[in-house]
Amino acid sequence: DGPRAALRPWRIVDLVFIVPGIAYFILFFSGDFGSVRNGDEHEYFLFVQFILLSRVIRVLSFRRWSREVEVVRRAVIAAGPMLLLPVFLSAQIFLTLASLFVLTENLEHRGHENDFDNLIKGLYWTSHFLIGEWSIVDFSLGGSRVCIFTCVYGMMIFAIPMNIVAEAVQTGLALDAQEKIEAEERERLEAVRAAGRSGLGSLPPGSSTGFVSAS
């Protein structure tokens, strides 16, 4: 393969994940590990640890899972055209709900304005709410109304893309299982034909027509 192998997606992932590991060990053996871990560079240290822990996704490149990963990849690509409108709608709902939470909680000042003092924090907490994890429950009057809307409509709309992907993956797995059965059937037929050809070749002349010539 040569240089082309280094440009494969999983080789690029390996490169990204190995660089923080090298930096981690350099800091450890240089004696600066403690100062970086507890000092002003603490956030960078956490980022390096996050990348190191993210190496777990490399399990998807193992040969044992290559067929399953390919099936899921093809299913997601096949569902792409159907995902365009639901993803746009979900993103719109996500941004709208986060904006409403920021607005309502800062208008009434019921104690959670620090958790919703900007849109980024609002997006963070709204992402919790949309998956059914209510880390904050005592909202203001307006926030409680947004909360009701989120429970009744927001979570339902946000789940549509995931349902489409799940259905596409299920269909892909069913097609993959059918392909396996067909491949095994073809191999069995080929083995029977090969055995038949080898058996005919060992018979005396005339056996293939059902009789032996009597001369």
Contact 117, 202 (CB under 8 A): no
**pLDDT score recorded for residue 211:** 44
Q: What is the pLDDT of residue 50?
A: 74
Higher-confidence residue of 104 and 75: namely 104
Q: By C-alpha distance, which of 118, 116, 129, 187 is closest to 155?
A: 129
pLDDT, tens digit, 9 for 90 and up, residues 179-192: 888 888 888 888 88
Mean pLDDT, to the nearest integer, of 124-143? 84
**pLDDT higher than 80, residue 30:** no
Look at residue 149 and tell me whether its pLDDT is greater than 80: yes
Distance of alpha carbon 160 from alpha carbon 153, whole angstroms: 11
Q: Which amino acid is at 118?
A: N
pLDDT band at 33 (very low <50, low <70, confident <90, very high): low
38 phi/psi in degrees, rounded to 5 = -110, -5
Where is pLDDT greater, at 28 or 206?
A: 28
Separation in Å, CA 184 to CA 98, 107, 145, 190? 52, 66, 58, 10
- Those residues whose C-beta lies under 8 Å from the C-beta of residue 69, and which sit 6 or more positions away, are 60, 61
Whether 138 has a pLDDT exceeding 70, the answer reads yes
* pLDDT given for residue 2 in this prediction: 57
pLDDT of residue 210: 46
pLDDT for 43:
62
Query: Residues 6 or more apart from 14 whose CB is under 8 A from it?
Result: 58
d(CA 151, CA 156): 8
Two tokens at 170? 């299920």
Residue pair 164/85 in contact by the 8 Å Cβ criterion: no
- The pLDDT > 70 percentage for the chain reads 77
| Whether pLDDT at 209 is above 50 | no
For the residues 87-105, what does the mean pLDDT come to? 88
| Structure confidence at residue 3 (pLDDT) | 66
- Res 54 pLDDT > 50: yes
Query: Given CA atoms 158, 161, 164, 167 in this order, what sign does their dihedral have?
Result: negative
